[in-house]
Chain A
Amino acid sequence: MEAYRQEIIIGAVIIYMVFCVCTGLWAMRRTKNSSDFFIAGRGLGPVVVSLALFSSTLSGFGFVGGPGLVYSIGVSSFWMIVISSTGYALGFFLVAKRIRMIADVRNCISLPDVLAARYNSEAVRFLIAIAIVLGVMGYLATQILAMAVVMQAILSGTAMFADIGLVACVVISSTVLIFYCVTGGIIASVYTDVVQGAIMMIAGVLILLTAMSVFDGGMQEATSIILADDGEAMMPFGAAGIMASLGWFFVFGLGLAGQPHLVTKMMMNKKISDNRSILPMSLLGYVMAALLWVSIGVIMRAAVIDGVIEPLALPDDAASLFLSIFTNPLLAGIVFAGLFAAIMSTSDAFLNIGTAAIIHDIPKAIQGHAIQNELFWARVVTVILAIVAASFALYSHFQDATLVAILGAFGWATFAASIFPVLAIGLNWKGATALGAVAAIVSALLINFIVQLAGIVLPYGILGGLIAFIVSLVLFIGVSLVTKKPELDADMEAVLNI
């Protein structure tokens, strides 16, 4: 079996991609209007929503960057995942019920739709839509690039595709992504997410079992090797220190309820009462998949320190080298398919919300009404958005990384800082005002942009995103308290009372 390692891995990835294409074709028949395209007609069951929710949370960053971060900074990066239980809990307490109700009452198909209804403000709609578009471009470009780099690494190991270029890999991977997103919209996206989520859960558990067998003394031997080399790396705050760790706890924990690609999925379930089972199921799936992040990172750092393997050229090589050195080919095939699943499940969610912002929210904020034939334009814009993001990815790789880096600043932390106060607190506090919301969004975008562009380094590893988040929270509540309490429409008042 070892002799066919590369063929088995390619076979697993091809089977997965064919599945995505078939799902797109199947979902196309169920996509009849823009509501189906963007929020699956609000008719999904709890298992589908749970798997779609957690698989969109854990992107390619989790499968590639996560183990790389543990290799690089030790336990510090664990803070991004141990917070998942708090993050999901807050997301459901603060957002899940009311976002679903407002979506129903006002027939909303996007997050800016919901916020425009809540604040009765087109300015809030416009600003959130702009933040989403900027964030989506950065996220999508990095995800497409990651997908292409992994594909090139797999294919170049075979005689037939030894010289395959990155451009060809971008084209192949983006084509599959575009195909199922364009044909089946969010329905294809969530049903591929179900399989993607299942693959990620299986991969996480199998990798943990494999990792525990690398050293005779299991995980404890690996952690004691790291501890002996540098005590701080294996202690709770890791190499990056206490403030970086607590910053990640804050931004990843509270911030989950501000991620547009995740909260949009909370609008898609058939019944509000399903939320009680969606929450624990999503968390369980996430925890199983995240085992890969912790176990590969710890084992690879210990293996290098102990001289079992050579030092890595790049921390992000941790996952792929672990798979090629320590796993059998079948497991490597499953995990590589899981890696594509993780990247695609996040990318399709971003394509969907980005398209909604462009063809639905921005025109509505400017002209006061939606464009004609939304479903047709949704499909056109999905293609254009993916092509532009892929072009950004290639330009960044070959010419200049600055553009994607700037857009990448509009990642998790910016969504968290700009959207969490406005959405999570705003849906639960009738005193929140449109002016407070505008102040919070603008300050979050500006602080993140300035910190990124000016390359500001804060003492003790404090994150720029943490500063932006706290300033945004202070401004949102403070400005709302000093501005005139809004008069809510009767239906909105009723929703906020329930």
Chain B
Amino acid sequence: MRSNLIYVIFATVLLMAGILVAICLADTVPNAAGVAHEQFNGMQAGGDGAARLEHIGGLAFAFQALLLVLIVCLAALGIAEERRSPELWAYMGGTLLFSLFVWWQMYSGHQAFLETGVTRYFMGFPVATAWQVYGTWLGAIPLIVLYSVGFRKFVFTVEDERKYEQLLEKIAEKSEQ
């Protein structure tokens, strides 16, 4: 069966491009990308976080969610077509859900802070930021585990290695002739 993965990737990128255009056309708010700190030269301040997200919060959330979909699809593209088994897709789906969960926790944690002005801390950082610092980094660890532990099953099997060595031998023979 011919893979449709490249079409999924293309559609995702097109949607992301559309969201970027929508954000560019959205109403702007002053200092949306930061403003010079009133007291300290060289420092930027974020100012009113709720106002900065008012017109584009939902679009930005969707942009990042699509980026997480794109990352998982690209990782799958790196695996030979015949080894993209249901088992692999289940694993990739789990990885995507985990990344989306981290992203949701981060975004909603930020929203909660904007509403209440208070936050709990986890390992040195406000909770929403801790999701960013630790969660985002951990979000791709399942991919690292898949690559390292599943290397011989998905990435470069013993059969692949044999085919590759045969190819090299064939090329060597050809060049000797």
Q: Which residues of B contact A283 (CB under 8 A)?
A: 144
Shortest A68–chain B CB gap in Å is 8
Task: Please count how many residues in chain A sit with their CB below 8 Å of the partner chain's CB atoms.
Answer: 93
Q: Which residues of A contact B126 (CB under 8 A)?
A: 223, 227, 234-235
Q: State the 4 A-B residue pairs at the shortest beta-carbon distance, nearest first.
A: A232-B46, A461-B33, A93-B78, A219-B124
Closest residue on chain B to residue A477 by CB atoms = B10
CB of B42 closer than 8 Å to a CB of A: yes
Q: A-side interface residues toward B, CB under 8 Å?
A: 71-76, 78-79, 82-86, 88-90, 92-94, 97, 101, 104-105, 218-220, 222-224, 227, 229-244, 246, 249-250, 253-254, 272-273, 275-277, 279-280, 283, 287, 294, 301, 304-305, 311-315, 424-425, 428-429, 431, 458-462, 466-467, 470-471, 473-474, 477-478, 481, 491, 494-495, 497-498
- B125–A223 contact, CB under 8 A? yes
- Report Cα–Cα, A305/B42, bound state, in Å: 12
Shortest A231–chain B CB gap in Å is 6
Closest residue on chain A to residue B138 by CB atoms = A85
Contacts A88-B144, A494-B163: A276 and B74 contacting too (C-beta < 8 A)?
A: no
Q: Which residues of A contact B24 (CB under 8 A)?
A: 458-459, 462
Shortest A4–chain B CB gap in Å is 31
- A497–B117 contact, CB under 8 A? no
Q: Which residues of A contact B52 (CB under 8 A)?
A: 232, 241-242, 460
What are 25 A-B pairs with beta-carbon distances under 8 A?
A: A75-B129, A75-B132, A84-B137, A85-B140, A85-B144, A92-B147, A93-B75, A94-B77, A97-B156, A105-B168, A223-B125, A231-B114, A231-B117, A238-B34, A239-B43, A246-B63, A249-B67, A315-B43, A459-B28, A460-B28, A477-B10, A481-B10, A495-B167, A498-B80, A498-B160
Contacts A230-B37, A241-B34, A498-B164: A223 and B121 contacting too (C-beta < 8 A)?
A: yes
Shortest B123–chain A CB gap in Å is 8
Contacts A231-B49, A474-B13: A241 and B78 contacting too (C-beta < 8 A)?
A: no
Contacts A236-B131, A240-B44, A460-B23: A94 and B78 contacting too (C-beta < 8 A)?
A: yes
Quick one: which of B60, B152, B171 contacts A242, CB cutoff 8 A? B60
CB of B97 closer than 8 Å to a CB of A: no
Q: Which residues of A contact B133 (CB under 8 A)?
A: 78, 82, 294
Shortest B106–chain A CB gap in Å is 5
- A74–B75 contact, CB under 8 A? no
- Report Cα–Cα, A118/B137, bound state, in Å: 33
- Most B CB contacts (10 A, CB to CB) among A71, A93, A280, A283 go to A93
Q: Which residues of B contact A301 (CB under 8 A)?
A: 43
